[in-house]
Amino acid sequence: MNKRHPVNRNLVINKGSFYKNIPVWNKGDLIQNYLISIEQVLTQSLNEHPRTLAIRFDLRFPISFGIIDQIASLQTSHISSFFKNLDLEIQRDIKGKIKRNGNVHHSSLRYIWVKEQDSSCMPHYHVAIFLNKDTYYGLGSYQGNGDNMASRIIRAWAKAIGIETYDAGKRVEFPDNHTYRLNRNSENFAEDFKQLFFRVSYFAKVDTKAFGSKDNYFGCSRK
């Protein structure tokens, strides 16, 4: 039987290497509540977009935030603003494509995020977003001023924390194997889904989250 977290009794600990027979990150305990939310977001995305694009990246604050705006840097409003900005970027791009090309596939934006702080003086965010693969295929160039998804992500973070785009490019990190493409009708779907779920199950780890504070350390889209 899974135990509850000692600080937040609403959170259930998932021990072991599986969640519902799906392999998960196993180098520490996970929060089952977060795994449930991750599964829901993936299901919602695939229900609307049977061909789903998933992109993994990290968002960091400038070191100066710890000096001039330390309290504000800890607020969840920054990540909320980021997703609002990114959605506006995406919808603006789709409208532009419709004007230029006529019919274009719609894409909703769904997401999962977790805020962590280890030995650094500043927290950082791990993020995964989910889009329609019939609309977007990947990141594109990381220049920050281009017409691609990487640039939209960088601009959205720059606007969220009030810095220049060129500086935000240093604060957005795209790790290795950052892109996953799921096709519900593919014979490889089950394996592709497991690989993606394993990757984002890391977001649910217990470590590096201050559960005794009033701040939010995990969030996701609701629809």
Flag whether 51 is in a domain: yes
In a domain, 61, yes or no: yes
* Full domain range(s) for residue 49: 34-220
Reported pTM: 0.91
Q: Are 58 and 136 in contact (CB under 8 A)?
A: no
**Confidence grade of residue 68 (pLDDT, cut at 50, 70, 90):** very low
Note the pLDDT of residue 15: 85
Neighbours of 185 (CB within 10 A): 7
Q: Are 197 and 66 in contact (CB under 8 A)?
A: no
pLDDT band, residue 173 (cuts 50/70/90): very high
Residue 8 lies in a domain: no
Q: Tell me what the mean pLDDT of segment 25-46 comes to.
A: 95
pLDDT over 80 at 213, yes or no: no
Phi, psi for residue 74 in degrees, rounded to 5: -90, -5
Q: Which residue has the higher pLDDT, 64 or 101?
A: 101
User: Using N-to-C axis directions, what is the helix angle for 189-201 and 32-48, rounded to 10°?
Assistant: 140
Mean pLDDT score of the chain: 88
CA atoms within 13 A on the CB side of 54: 27
DSSP letter assigned to residue 95: H
Residue 70 lies in a domain: yes
Question: Is residue 161 in some structural domain?
Answer: yes
Q: What is the pLDDT of residues 79-120, one digit of tens each?
A: 999 999 999 999 999 999 999 988 889 999 999 999 987 767
DSSP 54: E
191 HSE (CA, 13 A, CB side): 3
pLDDT of 139 reads 94
> What is the number of structural domains in the chain?
1
The H-assigned helical ranges of the chain are 32-48, 65-68, 70-73, 77-101, 149-161, 165-168, 189-201
